[in-house]
Structure 1
Amino acid sequence: MRKLLNTLYVSTEGAYLRRDGLNVVVEVERVEKLRVPLHLLGGIAVFGQVSLSPALMGSLAEAGVVTAFFSMTGRFLARVEGPVSGNVLLRREQYRVMDDGPACTRLARGIVAAKALNQRGVLQRALRDHGSALADTAREALSAAIDRMQDIARRALHETDLDRLRGHEGEAAALYFGVFGHALRVADLALAFRGRNRRPPMDPPNALISFIYTLLVHDCRGALEGVGLDPAAGFLHRLRPGRPSLALDLMEELRAPLADRLALSMLNRRELGPSDFRVMENGAVLLVETSRKTVLTAWQERKREEIEHPFLKERTTLGLLPHVQASLLARTLRGDLDVYPALIWK
């Protein structure tokens, strides 16, 4: 459990939240673990088997503090809020920005730049840790991609046209996945990466990446709903029926450090092998059921790791990053922040 910005996040199984005067008290097995003044909170997010007393629920609603409930895996369940809410104003501003090309570009360019820099970080890590074992051509390809992605991020930060910004994002993705295979340290040709492909994935690395991306967008969607944003109304991704465009926007900066690094780690450490995948009649490659459970377990373990948030300068778990970024995005739309601080992995 931890407090970040003005939101209290509680994910300890069996935790109980109650009111004590003007304070929110968090107890685990009847032992007080945390006490936060009610007036310092703008929201509470609880994950899994966490209970709140009726008295606290009433006080939170009366004080305008939103309580969001999530499953332990991050699936959004419900929001509880009092009769007066700024939610409609937040969504109105979200839709206004969505329909304003220059405003969309100003918000989205930080996301694109952060995505390119985080992808660059994955390649830098591969070159640093395993460059000596690579062929000269592979090292040169990684080095060239690293240099170009720095330039793409710089151009994205100064871009004023939304379509050109999308072009920068596409250029970075093509460059990144063009050399991604060099970060794989598996000799088995059955696990070879053959360029980014999806719908359906045609090789094991793509099947794994796509599966983890599905988990990540699920978490991003829940985080956006938790702060009152519409996950379908995005800024970088175009609107399509049934498409969670804003969730896809939010996950862009998180793909490389959370999903891609996990996929590389599981393959390079031989935690998954050829037998963990099956090839369908149409050539599509899918994870077998038992292997999906293995990935889900690794994903939940990954989410428990901690980093210092580069903008907040506070410790947080990786699993809370979508929620923190969603909160920062909401603050930006409200005008509390001049520029959305997209996550750049250090």
Structure 2
Amino acid sequence: MITLQNTLYVMTPQAYVHLDNTTLRVDVEHEKRLQVPLHHVGTLVCFGNVLVSPALVHRLADEGKSLVLLDGFGRFKARMEGPVSGNILLRQAQHRGASDAAITLELARSCVAGKIRNSRTLLQRGARETKDQEDAGPLTTATQHLAASLRSTAGASTVDELRGIEGDAARIYFSSFNYIIKPIMRDQFQWSGRTRRPPLDKLNALLSFLYSMLMNDCRSALETVGLDPQLGFLHVVRPGRAALALDLQEEFRATLCDRLALTLVNRGQLSDGDFETREGGAVLLADKGRRKVVAAWQERKQEEITHPLLDQKMPIGLLPFMQARLLARSIRGEMVSYLPYLAR
């Protein structure tokens, strides 16, 4: 259990959340684990098999507080709200912002800058940790190029220009990816660049699978705070496309997905048997491989970090939810600009 900005996240399986006079109480195996005044809680978010008493459900509805249900993997299932809700006001602000070129540009700039900054941090770590100077040189050069791309985001005057900067930065980043793979693993995980729809090698298959799980988490986070995941600022709005979830996903790709993929590869935790090749050359994770990656993903999400802006410890899995709340505050005009998560 963790409370962030008046939102209580209950992640312990079989936890029982109920009213105790004017407090909200969380019991696990009939033992009290947490008790907080109800007026301190604005939203209750339950992951997986968490029980909520009917009395608490009614009380939350009466007081205009939200109850959000996610499955055990963090995918959004439902949100319950009483008759008084600020979400319509938030969504109105979101639609106004999407129609305002200046607001759209600034939010898109934050998304791109966060992605490039975190990508550069991953390459810098790779350059520090490699024992081969022939690998360190290209990685250092790539970080210099990404630093220039990061500076360019400040001068971009249109969203299309930002998309161009982001595309160039991604090309530089992925062209250096092979140097972070340990030499002994490069034959097994050959890398010649990012391929999608379908992925054409094992590492691309791994990245695509991790990105899809991250996408689910980002969409759930936006639904939880009441934002419309379809209406984005950087990504073009299309029917059936969760453009805002794609926007939020950008700052986490390198930190959460790419770093985990490289860890699994470099530690030899995945082998040829964890992948399968389909007709036409598409490479996908086999069932055994998916189970391994999901387990590693869930373990990674339980690790704690200190949020650099809030200076508060939290599980890594809650980062998208925290950033979604900051994004909502920015859209409402409560923050001067949106501050993406920057890995250390």
Same fold (TM over 0.5): yes
Moved more, 152-161 or 76-85: 152-161
Q: Spell out the pairing of 1:146-225 with structure 2 (5 A cutoff).
A: 146-185=143-182, 186-225=184-223
Paired residue for 2:132? Answer: 133
Q: Distance in 1 between matches of 2:218 and 2:334?
A: 21
RMSD of Structure 2 on Structure 1 (CA): 1.3
Amino acid at match of 1:195: G
Deviations 1:24-51 (A, max 9, x none): 1111122221122222222111101111
Paired residue for 1:85? Answer: 85
Q: Distance in 1 between matches of 2:150 and 2:201?
A: 29
Q: Distance in 2 between matches of 1:133 and 1:142?
A: 11
Moved more, 77-86 or 27-36: 27-36
Paired residue for 1:313? Answer: 311
Amino acid at match of 1:173: A
Moved more, 114-123 or 181-190: 181-190
Deviations 1:6-36 (A, max 9, x none): 1110000111111223221111122221122
Q: Distance in 2 between matches of 1:313 and 1:36?
A: 22
Question: Are the structure 2 counterparts of residues 180 and 227 from structure 1 closer, same or farther at C-alpha, using a change threshold of 3 Å?
Answer: same
Q: Spell out the pairing of 1:280-291 with structure 2 (5 A cutoff).
A: 280-291=278-289
Q: Distance in 2 between matches of 1:161 and 1:284?
A: 36
Question: 1:266: Cα distance to partner?
Answer: 0.4
3-state SS in 1 of match to 2:176: helix
Question: Are the structure 2 counterparts of residues 24 and 331 from structure 1 closer, same or farther at C-alpha, using a change threshold of 3 Å?
Answer: same
Aligned residues: 343
Structure 1 residues not aligned, in runs of 5+: none
8 Å CA contact retained: 2:64, 2:81: yes
Paired residue for 2:44? Answer: 44
Q: Distance in 2 between matches of 1:129 and 1:222?
A: 35
Question: 1:134: Cα distance to partner?
Answer: 4.5
Q: TM-score, normalised by structure 1?
A: 0.96
3-state SS in 2 of match to 1:189: coil
Paired residue for 1:274? Answer: 272
Q: Distance in 1 between matches of 2:26 and 2:155?
A: 45
Amino acid at match of 1:242: G
Question: 1:216: Cα distance to partner?
Answer: 0.5
Q: Spell out the pairing of 1:223-234 with structure 2 (5 A cutoff).
A: 223-234=221-232
Q: Distance in 2 between matches of 1:299 and 1:182?
A: 23
Q: Distance in 1 between matches of 2:119 and 2:66?
A: 35
Q: Distance in 2 between matches of 1:134 and 1:260?
A: 22
8 Å CA contact retained: 1:75, 1:219: yes
8 Å CA contact retained: 1:108, 1:236: yes
Structure 2 residues not aligned, in runs of 5+: none
Question: 1:158: Cα distance to partner?
Answer: 4.3
1:142 pairs with 2:139:
yes
Question: 1:335: Cα distance to partner?
Answer: 2.0
8 Å CA contact retained: 2:128, 2:136: no
Q: Distance in 2 between matches of 1:182 and 1:305?
A: 26
Paired residue for 1:244? Answer: 242
Question: 1:200: Cα distance to partner?
Answer: 0.7
Question: 1:212: Cα distance to partner?
Answer: 0.5
Question: Are the structure 2 counterparts of residues 36 and 338 from structure 1 closer, same or farther at C-alpha, using a change threshold of 3 Å?
Answer: farther
Deviations 1:251-285 (A, max 9, x none): 10001010000100000000012232222221111
Q: Distance in 1 between matches of 2:48 and 2:161?
A: 42
Q: Distance in 2 between matches of 1:170 and 1:6?
A: 37
Question: 1:104: Cα distance to partner?
Answer: 0.5
Q: Distance in 2 between matches of 1:187 and 1:216?
A: 25
Q: TM-score, normalised by structure 2?
A: 0.96
Q: Distance in 2 between matches of 1:8 and 1:338?
A: 26
8 Å CA contact retained: 1:102, 1:162: no
8 Å CA contact retained: 1:6, 1:40: yes
1:299 pairs with 2:293:
no
Q: Distance in 2 between matches of 1:326 and 1:201?
A: 29
Amino acid at match of 1:25: R
Q: Spell out the pairing of 1:66-77 with structure 2 (5 A cutoff).
A: 66-77=66-77
Q: Distance in 1 between matches of 2:328 and 2:314?
A: 19
Deviations 1:79-129 (A, max 9, x none): 111001111111111111112221111112112111101001111111111
Q: Distance in 2 between matches of 1:316 and 1:157?
A: 30
Q: Distance in 2 between matches of 1:158 and 1:50?
A: 48
Instruction: Quote the sequence identity (%).
Output: 47
